[in-house]
A and B are shown apart, each in its own frame.
Chain A
Amino acid sequence: MLKTEQMVLNMGPQHPSTHGVLRLELELDGEVINSVTPHIGYLHRCFEKHCEAMTYPQIIPYVDRMDYLAAMYNEFGFALAVERLMDIKVPERVEYIRVIMGELQRIASHLVAVGTYGLDIGAFTPFLYCFRDREKILTLFEMTCGARLLYNYIWIGGLSHDIHPDFIRYTKEFIDYFKPNLKELNDLLTYNKIFIDRTANVGILPLETAINYGVTGPNLRASGLRWDLRLDDPYSIYDKFEFDIPVGQGWHGTIGDCWDRYYIRILEMEESLKILEQAIAQIPEGDISSAIPKRVKPPEGQIYTRVENPRGELGYFIISKGQLQPHRVKVRAPSFVSLSVLNELCKGHLVADVVAILGSIDIVLGEIDR
């Protein structure tokens, strides 16, 4: 008897465009998708179990390695959490440098997201342009702390090194260099008709579903809600800077489709440039290591702190029992939550759209699996 069956296709752990080791099990009806099941855990490195055996300053290098494309922000969040638990007030120069590093990291992370998204859709050249610009940012980081990807720079109570005397000048040069390059990237990829046809009206995430699933960051802003932790739950000195929050408006399709999520990231890079300009104009002098405690021994209690990672809301839940080691550290990774929405987004689309949707929600397997 002739009958039609569902085909199960495996986009396996090794695949050019699942961003990391992720296994997607697709149930297909011809080329139309019935369901997508992500299987994770290939990069699980037992981060939370390690934390229970190490002292608080020793955890900082481990924290970098979770979201390896935005390492400064991971350290920022953890240091902020422990400082709030211990009521440490850091000097103002330290705050300014942390914000500068954070925003540079945000631009670098969005460049990777945008470049690899173009690569998945088939445009090979914008990927190299994005990485060429990211090289300049990594050179700035290397000038500061010696490392390009995983820094161990933001310590509890301060920083590990002060910035280089020429750092401000080089950052200004980078800002002037990057603005026309962003325009070139827009002309090449963002407004390209083929790119818009591949991404507009694909993978629409309605606002109700997004809030119910706990999606945050650019994905939530693209669905129409104006929610940014730098303004809604302020931390550090972000209230001293003036910047916009881009919200998705369905410019080329419906609100919350892949093009909106992509375009929000481009607009966020422009906003980060504004914050950088203001920060390097206002940075005061000071001593960066004056508030670093000799021994980090928080009082008994617990705290949940969150920061605005380039991918969403990164949260640290630390329970301490008054010892040198924490009792429990739980990390709320934004990509973990974003990946769980994939099944809802992909229903009814074609196989080629899975790649487009997966690229637009911008996941990093390091923080999903921890």
Chain B
Amino acid sequence: MIYEFLYNLIGSHIVASFISAVFPLAFLVPFALFAVYLERKVSGHMQDRLGPMRVGWHGWLQTVADIIKLVQKEDITASATDKKLFNFAPVLVFAGSYAAFAAIPFTSIYIGSNIDLGILYIVAVSSFVVAGILMAGWASNNKYSLLGAMRSAAQIVSYEIPTVLVILSIIVISGTLNLMTLSEQQSSSFYNWMIFGGAVAGWKKFVLIPFVMIGFLVIYISSLAEVNRTPFDIPEAESELVSGYHTEYSGMKFAMFFLAEYANMFAVSAVVVALFLGGYQSPFGYLGNTTGLTWLIPVEQFFWFAAKGIFFVFVQMWLRWTLPRLRVDQLMVVCWKYLIPISFANLVIIALIMVL
């Protein structure tokens, strides 16, 4: 594991853990740049146009240009805002998204912190985002921002419930909360992936498949609501509230919100991948095994993990540019009247199957 390697190298727990914590950031920042570019290209091609084409080959440097622009913008603060909360809110939102990466395994030799409470910790700490959003909405001293922040808080808190219920059903099958162990259980080929019944022996595996698929759909829809993407993007509904809770932000603070949104998107995709699609496992053997270069295996695993995560981020973008958005009360109806009963029934049935 990388953490032990660093500790043996440096000798101090604090410095080793600090360096180990920077790895997800080193992945996230290029990922955010790539994701913004991907979003613009995907939306462009879906809308029968080309997207950015001028800055670099086919526009791949566009995000770099945008970051340079955002960094040098004037930081406008309205005079009637609550300064301390206003400045602290983007930090909290980003911290909430980033802290979730501590328990997500990127490869078999790297996980930020190998605690036994893995997934529970992730769900708990990503609720910091709610506090940050409420702070942003209130401190902006703007009726529109306040409306957007309230809607967002209601939405995120409600949609955590189906998420947790589906996670519980997966834990019933696998028996552990630690995402690393979960990924190890789904090894050797895609036949063992959780979405195809997991590494369960005998007839139970095939009976479980439809229920696990339903659980997968429920958690994917709830994760769309957690990150405020269409069809659940009421809090930042452009045509109604002019950008919702981040209306009043400009410059670097706005860039923090932006970065936090893409980090959050990847975090929830990574959780779904780790739970259902085998985490960093490859669907069919490793090149490292066939050629005998065993140091190649973790690199391949990281590649598979990143590819699966980016695929789900791509599906999130695809849904954003296709579907219209739901109204606030319809959003709540979907959560409380449909997703929660379905996921609860799912949990009970899966538990029954496992016990029999």
The chain A residues found within 8 Å of chain B, CB to CB, are: 7, 9, 15-17, 31, 118-125, 128-129, 132, 188-189, 192, 194-195, 197-198, 350-353, 355
Contact = CB atoms under 8 A, between A and B. Distances in A.
A182 to B, nearest CB: 15
Interface residues of B, number: 28
B239 A123 contact: no
A124 B242 CA distance: 15
A116 B238 CA distance: 13
Contact of B239 (A16, A31, A195): A16
A128 B47 contact: yes
Contact of B238 (A16, A192, A194, A350): A16
B204 interface: no
11 contacts: A17-B239, A17-B240, A119-B239, A122-B233, A128-B47, A128-B48, A129-B48, A194-B231, A350-B327, A351-B240, A352-B237
B74 interface: no
A198 B47 contact: no
Provide the main secondary structure of the chain A interface: helix
A132 B50 CA distance: 13
Contacts of A120: 239
Interface string B218-242: 0000000000001101100111101
A122 B324 contact: yes
B190 interface: no
A350 B239 contact: no
Interface string B127-159: 000000000000000011001000000000000
A129 B239 contact: no
B329 A132 contact: no
Given A16-B242, A128-B49, A198-B327, 5 more contacts: A7-B143, A121-B324, A194-B325, A195-B324, A355-B240
Contacts of A128: 47-49
A125 B326 contact: no
B164 interface: no
B326 A194 contact: yes
Interface string B319-333: 011111111111000
Given A7-B143, A351-B240, A122 B231 contact: yes
A124 B43 contact: yes
B296 interface: no
Given A132-B48, A355-B239, A121 B325 contact: yes
A188 B323 CA distance: 9
Contacts of B323: 122-123, 192, 194
A122 B237 contact: yes
Contacts of A7: 143
- Interface-central residue, A15, A129, A132, A352, by most chain B CB under 10 Å: A352
